[in-house]
Chain A
């Protein structure tokens, strides 16, 4: 054995092996890096480039316009309204992403059995249904002259409401219709988190004489903080995208822009008016807002970590 693996033979085989071991991680990573480059970072850079051009997508770009697209957006009341509405959606949907599904999941978890399974299935139903079909159904139900919703409120002596045409109710309707789906989906995620709880801590608390409420408040809830932070963050970041289908089908951003949001505005600019440069500039601004928020969040967290 020793003779066969002598020094000269070892040198010849060692070099390629070192190269191979250095390349191997990159080879493993390459499919993912390629996909990220092609589908995420490449288009992001392309968008950045488009944001300084005046281009309607169908004729050649008319030229470099510098920061004109950004300036036009900053001057546009519609753009600021859309940004503000995006924030409003994030805040309005936050409890439906966290508190409500958490309570539902705990209630069902505390009462296991066939009824619980049936309720869970019924609550999860909105997630299974086609989003556009659901939105169209709501449109029929909310018809101000013939819809079921006004029939029902009429039983209580309330006059007909123009649910989607009145600025004071349209946003609430979009939030409510979207919340049904978000709550259902997040309830399932909370249920999954609950099934993974450390049962020994619950049994120990029970042996110590803790009440059901105390177990929920001091044993179960703390173990769901990670899930809650995740779902809350996702809600803040994605709320504007979640309402997109309902806004498209039910209100198209109206009335008076109260149901608009930045994602629908970008879509409108890009694919209805074909103002590709302005739409790209809006997308870049959204990216920057999230980047600043992310960096700010990290700095805040770092300042609170004990050294």
Chain B
């Protein structure tokens, strides 16, 4: 370093220090005493194409207008990665403050993530706020005796059907099938016209087993029984899944993934599509000017009442900081309020989770008068079975194992139903018990 560069470097170093000091000093001075709180919100609906993404933006805008003192920074995350991304974020020390989390991931989230008790954060406001929300859905978010998740975007399985294909097949669109046997008969008539008959979307995009549970529950079985024991290989559960496999082996259901089935239904090449009401808006958009889209309730199995299991997501709070927790509660409170649930139904197509909304003129009565597609699932909302998770920190892995290693080979590739479910049930028991 020569005699010219040495003073130059020294000057630069001192200038840098001064600049850093100035910045550090300037920040507190620039802050308002009523500083707004910023929270991050991880959502799998945010940023998506279609009604879910647009609706979420509407909700965020409405919250922003109602609470200018709170800034929400939304982060988009693919539905299947919602849990894994947050785990990685927690490991990196920067979890989102609030998260939209699917019910199939909830048990593992409670066991492995720093999920806060919303009930405790809400304090005195809790009882008044949850009054009117479907109680079963609030209980689904309980863990360790306190509620950690409030229902947010909840849907149930329903039968979407193409009324034009029904007419072409000689079926009456006014009287859609109500049982699995009637679904099978209708599918047979539809395939005779050259279309694909029916598709049960058990192989969910988000690797949730809500439709597997719906089938097993409706057939009188369960994936997990009341005391938490794995029961997916019971005779009744097997019988339910066998009915779905029969549709494939009889050529009434295409042996394809759910994305392919959605594409086929949207192009008018599939007669019936059994999936979540969350797809309502997208299917409506796809059917516009192509065919008449209708819905029917989830079918019953073997003379038993249909017992659909809900899917969808709750809101959980991960914020550790007290100020952020308060802001997070305001956000959750708004999203699950009468106004929030109304927007969720109107804009995103999810079911209203407060009983009074559907008939209240101030909220959704007008909407349901014009939008009849949600009425059949709304009627079944009373019979909804709460989503059941496998126990513990590996519940998501167990669910993926059920879906990938049992349901997929049984439904798509003709694997022996009883043998496959028994083998996978044993592996899940070993996995769950290994903790």
Contact = CB atoms under 8 A, between A and B. Distances in A.
B402 to A, nearest CB: 14
A58 B260 contact: no
A72 B431 CA distance: 10
B409 A255 contact: yes
A217 to B, nearest CB: 47
User: For the side of the interface on B, what is the size category?
Assistant: 20 to 34
Contacts of A272: 84, 397, 400
A56 B394 CA distance: 10
Interface string B262-273: 011001010000
Interface in A264-279: 271-275
B129 interface: no
B393 A56 contact: yes
Interface in B358-398: 393-394, 396-397
Interface string A52-84: 000011110000000000001000000000000
A56 B261 CA distance: 35
Contacts of B397: 272-273, 275
A255 B90 contact: no
Contacts of A255: 408-409, 412-413
Contacts of A107: none
A250 to B, nearest CB: 11
Contact of B113 (A58, A165, A275): A58
Contacts of A274: 84, 87, 112
Contacts of B408: 254-256
Contacts of A256: 408-409, 413
Contacts of B394: 273
A145 interface: yes
Contact of B260 (A59, A143, A167, A273): A143
Nearest to B89: A58
Interface string A234-251: 000000000000000000
B254 A144 contact: yes
Contacts of A146: 260, 263-264, 267, 269
Contacts of A56: 87, 112, 393
Contact of B404 (A144, A145, A254): A254
B413 A167 contact: yes
B99 to A, nearest CB: 13
**Chain A interface main SS type:** loop
Contacts of A165: 255-257, 412-413
B91 interface: yes
B184 to A, nearest CB: 20
A145 B256 contact: yes
B226 to A, nearest CB: 27
A256 B84 CA distance: 23
A20 to B, nearest CB: 19
Given A145-B196, A146-B264, A165-B412, A57 B87 contact: yes
Contact of A144 (B87, B113, B260, B393): B260
B93 to A, nearest CB: 11
Interface string B387-430: 00000011011001000100011001100000000000000000
B88 interface: yes
A162 interface: yes
Interface in A23-38: none
Nearest to B398: A273
Interface in B230-284: 254-257, 260-261, 263-264, 267, 269
Most buried by B among A57, A252, A274: A274
Given A165-B256, A255-B412, 18 more contacts: A57-B88, A57-B91, A58-B90, A58-B112, A59-B112, A145-B256, A145-B263, A145-B264, A146-B263, A146-B267, A165-B412, A165-B413, A254-B404, A256-B413, A272-B400, A273-B397, A274-B87, A274-B112
Instruction: Please give me the 4 A-B residue pairs with the lowest Cβ-Cβ distance, nearest first.
Output: A273-B397, A145-B264, A57-B91, A58-B90
Interface of A: 56-59, 72, 143-146, 162, 164-167, 252, 254-256, 271-275
15 contacts: A56-B393, A57-B87, A58-B90, A58-B112, A72-B434, A145-B254, A162-B256, A164-B257, A165-B256, A252-B404, A254-B408, A256-B409, A256-B413, A273-B394, A274-B112
